[in-house]
Amino acid sequence: MRPRDIAIAVLIAAIWGFNFVIIHVGLGALPPLLFAALRFVAAAFPAVLFVRRPAIPWHRMTLIGLPLGVGQFGLLFIAMHLGMPAGLSSLVLQTQALFTAAFAVPMLGERMRRAQVAGMLVAFTGIAVIAGSLGQGGPVLAFALCLGAAGMWGLANIGMRKAQPPDMFGFMVWVSLIPPLPLLALSLIFEGPRTDLHALAHISAGGLGALAYIAYLSTLVGFGLWGWLLRRYDAGQVAIYSLLVPLFGVSSAALLLGERITVPDLVAGVLIVGGVALGSLRRRTAAVRPRADAPAAALAER
């Protein structure tokens, strides 16, 4: 990857890493499914009134919006609500890199390079070390739900790559229209209308701030840039940078939520960064691959 694109990938990791602390704050003000629904409502409105809908069939956007919104965020928010701490959640969710690379083989016909495989093994060793040091956090059900959220993120990554949207910001605005109704329906069923109305009537400034962060910075900016990278590079090559998210997630959780950072955590951090660096190595001539369906402006930038 080009240095500029690596910097973008790292910035996204920082935004998403701190996001887990923000989610923790938001869950103190709103029930999880309602919180997830409002995230996408805020991301879509009022921007959808001013942004042109991308020329992508609704069924393709649905195949991204459902796993991304209902699957990933619905399951993640429930998992954290059930007791998964922010730092540990940031670790478990990053197994999406493995799901993405695995799904890309049968669904996109991609082949994982040896450097990618080795880098992922090294990086996931680091994740295992940190997970072991935080092993007391979260019940089994919450862990399973968080792992399921990672799988849903992997599916959304593949769908994003297949859709090839030319305008990622506009695409994320419009795809945000898909999750709210299913999430609101699930919230009414499992959380109850009385709980939802009470939460909305008594939402705090912290809850509103958390909603703004995850709707605009994490969703529109983060996923807009993420999808743009997926159009330029192999899904597995981009996904491995998400392994940086635990570094930002664990450190921000330690600073703001009081989670301890131990020596094993530091060792694991080195393994994760080393794995990301190893997985990003490739021949200079293959660093950026122009695609036949890429917009002319994007090709010019290369």
Domains of the chain: which residue ranges? 3-282
- Report the C-alpha gap between 129 and 91 in whole angstroms: 10
Average pLDDT over residues 6-27: 94
Across the range 245-266, mean pLDDT stands at 84
Res. 291 pLDDT band, cuts 50 70 90: very low
Average pLDDT over residues 221-242: 80
195: which 2 tokens?
Answer: 């709980």
Is the per-residue pLDDT at 44 higher than 90?
yes
Tell me the percentage of the chain whose pLDDT exceeds 70: 87
Q: How confident is the model at residue 58 (pLDDT cuts 50, 70, 90)?
A: very high
Digit-coded pLDDT (tens) for 129-171: 766 765 555 567 887 898 899 899 889 989 988 888 777 788 8
Residues 118-133: what's their mean pLDDT? 77
User: Which pLDDT band, with edges at 50, 70 and 90, does 290 fall under?
Assistant: very low
Judge whether residue 264 has pLDDT over 60: yes
Average pLDDT value for residue range 216-243: 81
User: What's the pLDDT at 282?
Assistant: 57
Amino acid symbol at 55? A
Q: Which of 41-50, 83-92, 133-142 has the lowest mean pLDDT?
A: 133-142
Q: Reply yes or no on whether the pLDDT at 14 is more than 70.
A: yes
DSSP 67: I
3-state secondary structure of 290: coil
Name the DSSP letter for residue 243.
G
User: 89: pLDDT confidence band, cut at 50, 70 and 90?
Assistant: confident
CA distance to 61, 67, 208, per residue, from 55 (Å)? 10, 21, 33
Q: Token pair 């001539």 is at which residue?
A: 285
Closest among 225, 196, 175, 204 to 68, alpha carbons compared: 175
Residue with tokens 């840039």: 225
Residue 28 pLDDT exceeds 50: yes
What is the pLDDT at residue 284? 42
What's the pLDDT band for 59 if we cut at 50, 70, 90? very high
At 281, the pLDDT band (50, 70, 90 cuts) reads low
pTM for this prediction: 0.81
